[in-house]
């Protein structure tokens, strides 16, 4: 496997394109097919389009760097914090307040004890299944199979889990979006490879345009001087 950088990764490659383009434009538009003042003005559209493509390429690189900075600086830590919050919420289902059967007699108390026992068992099984660092969608599926309860305390615990789960999913999705922004689509690669070439060609065209406009101005000044000299020569000489 070759570890050499490609030719277009060197600044001398684009310098060569700039010089070659400048020579080609000079020969084409000043020797073979000389442009007039209006013709040189029309070339502004060409080099302006090249600059626009260069700006698009720069925006792609800026987007990638910003996404990378967000991931390293905030997104990963935010997802980790939200996942720890989720695990802590699930852990409350197996805490002493849930696993200790509530006191009382009668059918309602018996039903509450059955709910607490079922939730306690569910909480212990679920917290053992959850990974310690981050969870996939499959790891989170058991949370949707929670025992049905009527206890206000247990319902509050469920709501806390739902809120923590929503925050974790949002943080995970945002991280996935940022990671995708770090990559390149085919369009991104095309623009990134083409934009510096077009900028070099556009800059060369701009330099030749300035040269052409200067030559046109010089020619106009020469014609004015020749006209004035002819008029001076044709004026009759008056004797005193």
Burial level of 217, CB count in 10 A (0-12/13-18/19+)? exposed
Provide the pLDDT for residue 240: 43
| Digit-coded pLDDT (tens) for 63-85 | 888 888 877 777 778 888 898 99
Provide the pLDDT for residue 239: 46
Provide the pLDDT for residue 40: 85
Among candidates 92, 88, 140, which has minimal Cα distance to 116?
92
CB 150 within 8 A of CB 111: yes
The four Cα atoms 23, 27, 33, 38 give a dihedral, to 10 degrees, of 40
Average pLDDT over residues 82-102: 87
CB 79 within 8 A of CB 136: no
Average pLDDT over residues 84-88: 92
Phi-psi region of 106 (alpha: psi -120 to 50; beta: other; left: phi over 0): left
Q: How confident is the model at residue 107 (pLDDT cuts 50, 70, 90)?
A: confident
Average pLDDT over residues 114-120: 90
Please check the confidence at residue 210 and state whether its pLDDT lies above 60: yes
CB 35 within 8 A of CB 26: no
Provide the pLDDT for residue 192: 82
Q: How do the domains of the chain map onto residue ranges? A: 12-182
């Amino acid at each position: 496997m070759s570890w050499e950088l490609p030719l277009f990764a060197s600044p001398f490659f684009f310098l060569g394109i700039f010089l070659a383009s400048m020579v080609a434009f000079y020969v084409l538009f000043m020797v073979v097919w000389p442009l007039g003042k209006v013709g040189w003005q029309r070339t502004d559209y060409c080099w302006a389009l090249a600059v626009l493509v260069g700006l698009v390429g720069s925006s792609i690189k800026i987007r990638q760097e910003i996404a990378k900075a967000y991931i390293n600086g905030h997104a990963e830590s935010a997802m980790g914090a939200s996942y720890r919050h989720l695990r802590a919420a699930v852990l409350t289902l197996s805490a002493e307040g849930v696993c200790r059967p509530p006191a009382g007699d009668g059918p309602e108390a018996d039903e509450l004890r059955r709910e607490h026992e079922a939730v306690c068992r569910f909480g212990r099984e679920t917290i053992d299944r959850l990974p310690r660092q981050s969870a996939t969608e499959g790891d989170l599926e058991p949370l949707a199979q929670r025992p049905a309860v009527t206890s206000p305390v247990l319902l509050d615990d469920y709501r806390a889990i739902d809120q923590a789960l929503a925050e974790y999913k949002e943080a995970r999705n945002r991280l996935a979006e940022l990671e995708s922004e770090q990559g390149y689509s085919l369009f991104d690669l095309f623009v990134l490879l083409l934009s510096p070439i077009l900028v070099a060609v556009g800059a060369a065209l701009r330099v030749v345009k300035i040269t052409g406009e200067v030559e046109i101005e010089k020619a106009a000044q020469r014609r004015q001087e020749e006209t004035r000299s002819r008029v001076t020569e044709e004026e009759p000489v008056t004797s005193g």
